[in-house]
Structure 1
Amino acid sequence: MSDTVSITVTRQQGYQFLVDFGSAMPALNADLPAPLGQGAGPSPEHLLLAAVANCLGASLLFALQKYKQDPGTLSATATATIGRNEDKRLRVTGVDVALSLGKPAAELEHLERVLAQFEDFCTVTQSVRAGMDVRLSVSDATGQRLGG
């Protein structure tokens, strides 16, 4: 069985689009940065980064909660590398994601096991990886790098 998710984007003016997620969620204004747009909302690249970072954060939380572990504040920072392909067209050529746990690693049980499997739960990242490199790092509240 396969599920579907759909959104609708409608041009408002210039390069501004209204992203409609359906009646259950508020809409979002997206825009391209200058010189084409006005930067009045997140760009498509921002939305891609948000999707990857949110999915990885949620997947890590899911994997931790399977072991009844609470990571505290969990944050993710995603950075896109933009480059030109062989046809000189701009492309997102890679994504770096840094996940940070709100607690020291020593306070979280089964963390090694969680880190070994959580990425497999992330639908978006695994889908994006089929087309580009997505690099990940995970650190705890002390800044200790744990994996990725």
Structure 2
Amino acid sequence: MDTPTTVTLVRRSGYQFAIDFGLGTPPLLSDEPPPLGDSHGPTPKHLLLAAVANCLSASLTFALTKFKQDPGALTTVARATVGRNEANRLRVQRIEVDIRLERPGTAYEHLERVLGQFEEFCTVSMSVRQGIPIDVRVIGGDGQVLKG
């Protein structure tokens, strides 16, 4: 069993929280936009998107290197659709993630196998996906959609 992952949040003022990841790095400041906060940091929605996008990007990197492929530069964009639920509360209803490879798909060996398994390596997106649909597209450096 893995050691539990812990973060500590300390409220600074208003809706600003200092987030300590316990890694010896400076805390990250989160905030809400006006009228609640002052937009002095990412919102919890941004942090959720960053966690999903980062994990998927790292998983694709892992899958490519597993097949001895150089992932090169990856550019990942994640978008959240937010709407109201039946109780009229705002909820993240869907996440869309686009991962753009540096090179065209034909430049990677075993790409079909890589694309068929990389999402399974992502702890965060596979966990979040149990409650929020996540659509993932992988796009080659030439703009061709390779997955999704």
Asked if these proteins are the same fold (TM beyond 0.5), I'd say yes
What displacement does 1:119 show?
0.2
Does residue 75 (structure 1) correspond to residue 69 (structure 2)? The answer is no
What displacement does 1:5 show?
0.4
Query: Residue 143 of structure 2 aligns to which amino acid in structure 1?
Result: G
Question: Under a length normalisation based on structure 1, what TM-score does the superposition of the two structures give?
Answer: 0.97
Which position in structure 2 is the counterpart of 1:15? 15
Does residue 117 (structure 1) correspond to residue 117 (structure 2)? The answer is yes
Partner SS, residue 18 of structure 1: strand
Does residue 95 (structure 1) correspond to residue 115 (structure 2)? The answer is no
Which position in structure 1 is the counterpart of 2:56? 56
Which position in structure 2 is the counterpart of 1:66? 66
What displacement does 1:3 show?
2.9
What displacement does 1:27 show?
1.0
Does residue 132 (structure 1) correspond to residue 132 (structure 2)? The answer is yes
Within 1, Cα distance between the matches of 2:58 and 2:26?
20
What displacement does 1:23 show?
4.1
Does residue 5 (structure 1) correspond to residue 8 (structure 2)? The answer is no
Q: Deviations over 1:3-50 (max 9, x none)?
A: 310101110011000000114222100000111011110000000000
Q: Which runs of 4+ in 1 moved over 3 A?
A: none
Question: Under a length normalisation based on structure 2, what TM-score does the superposition of the two structures give?
Answer: 0.97
Within 2, Cα distance between the matches of 1:52 and 1:23?
20
What displacement does 1:101 show?
0.4
Q: Which runs of 5+ in 2 are unaligned?
A: none
